[in-house]
């Protein structure tokens, strides 16, 4: 048995959870916050049998695709004078960060 920990963007979470549950995967949802953009993320926990691992990963890869987005950040050059001028920066968002761990025991009580 494996434990999948998938950290996905909030925008993808609902569709991903629905797709996983439609394929009979049990999912636990945890709210989390990303470090770089400080935007909302969702962390999903899935316990899967070894023979179902590729099916779960296929769903995650299909739903959680990377995409470009424009974010506005304050200009660091103006910070010394006490004024900040916003400037747009293109960043890549989406995708998923996935950890897969072996599980020695599993109990559902």
**pLDDT value at position 102?**
97
| pLDDT at residue 53, as a whole number | 98
User: Where do we find the tokens 């995650």?
Assistant: 60
Alpha-carbon distances of 38 from 44, 80, 94, rounded to whole Å:
18, 23, 13
- CATH class, 2-66+93-102 region: alpha beta
Task: Judge whether 7 and 41 are in contact, CB under 8 Å.
Answer: yes
Q: Print burial letters for 22-34: b (CB count within 10 Å at least 16), e (below 16).
A: eeebebeeeeeee
Q: What is the pTM of this model?
A: 0.76
Q: Phi and psi of 24, rounded to 5°? A: 65, 35
Max CA distance (Å), the chain: 60
- Residue 74 confidence (pLDDT): 63
Buried b (16+ CB within 10 A) or exposed e, 41-68: bbbbebbbeeebeeebbebbeebbeeee
Question: Does residue 91 sit in helix, strand or coil?
Answer: strand
Provide the residue-wise pLDDT of the chain in tens; the chain has 109 residues. 999 999 998 889 999 999 999 999 999 999 887 665 566 789 999 999 999 999 999 999 999 998 777 766 665 555 556 666 666 777 766 789 999 999 999 888 8
Domain boundaries, the chain: 2-66+93-102
8 A C-beta contact, residue 45 and residue 28 = yes
């Amino acid at each position: 048995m494996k434990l999948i920990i998938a950290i996905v963007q909030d925008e993808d979470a609902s569709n991903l959870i629905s797709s996983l549950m439609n394929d009979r995967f049990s999912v636990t949802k945890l709210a989390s916050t990303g470090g770089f953009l400080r935007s909302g993320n969702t962390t999903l926990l899935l316990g899967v049998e070894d023979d179902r691992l590729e099916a779960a990963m296929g769903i995650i890869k299909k739903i959680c695709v990377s995409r470009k987005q424009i974010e506005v950040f304050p200009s660091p050059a103006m910070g010394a004078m006490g004024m900040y001028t916003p400037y747009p920066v293109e960043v890549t968002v989406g995708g998923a960060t996935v950890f897969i761990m072996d599980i020695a025991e599993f109990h559902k009580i």
